[in-house]
Amino acid sequence: MARFFVDTLPAEGTAYTLTGENADHARVLRLRPGEAVTLCDGRGTDCPCTVAEGLTLTAGVARPCPAEAKAAVSVWMAFPKGDKAEHVIQKATELGAAELNFFPSRYCVSRPEGKALEKKLERWQKIARAAAEQSGRGVIPAIRAVGSYAVALAQALQRAVPILCYENEAQYSLRDALSELGSGPAQALTVSLMTGAEGGFSEDEIAQAQTAGMKICTLGPRILRCETAPLAALTAIMFALGEM
């Protein structure tokens, strides 16, 4: 079923005309009268609609989107090289991430700033929007960047369960960290998931994270690529939450 994100949902029984990029998308889909489509406000509410004629829809009763995760999982990823961030944004959106945040760390090769970073964020947000439409999400994850590792740590620690994945950790596992997901109502649970760039994290960065209160965990005996680690861990978290 076609899905379109809009600023404001129409009232039940009223007509709504698709415009802009949504209209372009609808023309490509060649929607026919009587077809069912969905409008979404991007904040978790869906409005089922029926195509009346052309780009004009008739609105049904708004309802909560059933595809949103019970808990908010924030992904924190050190800037990767090339287009790896685009892959992670697309797949993490499909998996149910609430937001994706990028930050510089010691071993980052890519450190976009200024206009270059603005352009990347604009493109990345469009990728998240398209992935949300394709996967039936009710929320478009926000794509952000912060200026330092310290700021990233401080903001990640605002979540109830702050996890940092580190390839040199040998004892404390992601399973151990996820054991805390069962404490308290899922609807109130928030999780931070932090991963490094191609070179991982430095020992100093890990020490800083431990002192701050992050849960440093291993993802197993195999070394995962920087674009694989956040997606593997996010999948495990969603499984632990009963989302799969």
- Residue ranges per structural domain of the chain: 2-64, 72-240
With beta carbons less than 8 A apart as the criterion, state whether 68 and 137 touch: yes
Q: How large is the average pLDDT for residues 42-53?
A: 92
With beta carbons less than 8 A apart as the criterion, state whether 226 and 201 touch: no
pTM of the model: 0.86
Homologous superfamily of domain range 72-240: SPOUT methyltransferase, trefoil knot domain (3.40.1280.10)
With beta carbons less than 8 A apart as the criterion, state whether 107 and 199 touch: yes
Q: Tell whether the model's pLDDT for residue 185 goes beyond 60.
A: no
Phi–psi pair at 57, nearest 5 degrees: -115, 160
Identity at 94, one-letter amino acid code: E
The answer to whether the 2-64 and 72-240 domains have the same CATH topology is: no
| Top-tier CATH class for 2-64 | mainly beta
Q: How large is the average pLDDT for residues 131-149?
A: 94
pLDDT digits (tens, 9 = 90+) for 154-165: 999 999 899 999
| CB neighbour class for 42 (10 Å; exposed up to 12, middle 13-18, buried from 19) | middle
Alpha-carbon 173 to chain mean position: 23
